[in-house]
Structure 1
Amino acid sequence: MPTYALEINGTPRTVTAEADIPLLSILRQDLGLSGPRFGCGAGACGACRVLVGTESVAACDTPLWAVAGKAVTTVEGLGSEEDPHPLQRAFLKHQAMQCGYCVSGILISAAALLRRVARPSEAEIRAALDRNLCRCGAHNRMVRAILAASAEMAP
């Protein structure tokens, strides 16, 4: 079985697995990271989104070989309890979560957007979240939280 070197949340990791195993399986089963969720398994719901470099990708349909040598950031890597990311603080402040299943993927999609656009418009935020399904209907609160976080982060 091949061995792959990658960086997970800033820490170099080596993984021995089949090349086509989904990144989500490695993250959850091998590395114990429960932030990225298994939703649809087809990259359509957004629950499993992670950053690969600066791009938000669906970990459920990204094979391990595609992230070899790259930096992967899960929601656990955005911030910590002691030092939360501005998005995490804003989501708490604006009560932008309900059941929470989709939130890690939405935080990742929002983080990717804010890396590209410092002060996105509401329309840009909605477009960035288009690939994230929230069945609870908390999207409006999430958009408000992302707007607040961008105001805090922007120079």
Structure 2
Amino acid sequence: MHELVPVLDRLADQLESPQARTLLTMATVRPFFSGCTQVVPLVLRYLLETCRTVDEAFDRLRTIPIAIPQNVTLVDEHQSLTVYVGPDIPMAEAHDACAANHQHLPVPDEQERTTRTRARLAAVQAAGVDVPSMLRPPLYQCSYDQWLGTVYTAHYRPVEGRVT
């Protein structure tokens, strides 16, 4: 993980206060002393800074222990791929490049009633390139008091090098 240091240095240089820089350092160094796992936002930034293709990111991600189960979608101008990562599972490739808030295991009915994750996955698969449909239920959620609200929706256009 020595390659992560220059990435973190660049991130730290963009922070306005010394306290924020210290927090970034603590967030990064702490996992090395408590099981050597990383949190996904730092890993994603690392992949963005060091990889140019999905294949490079896939190979690199396979070597990084992840602290919390996550779905990660990797996209470049030639391909897209969703993988499931986590502390107690081997990295696994999804059937397609779509993800909701579950991994590859079946979702119990009770969890589906709360999260609507199967319905959301079906909706995102059906939406294709229909971006406005991403801004309506079941994809767009407002259940923030249950930690199920949509934080952001993005439209990636890797061939153009744009995201909105």
Q: With the length of structure 2 as denominator, give the TM-score of the two structures.
A: 0.30
Q: With the length of structure 1 as denominator, give the TM-score of the two structures.
A: 0.31
Computing the radius of gyration over CA atoms, which structure comes out larger, 1 or 2? 2
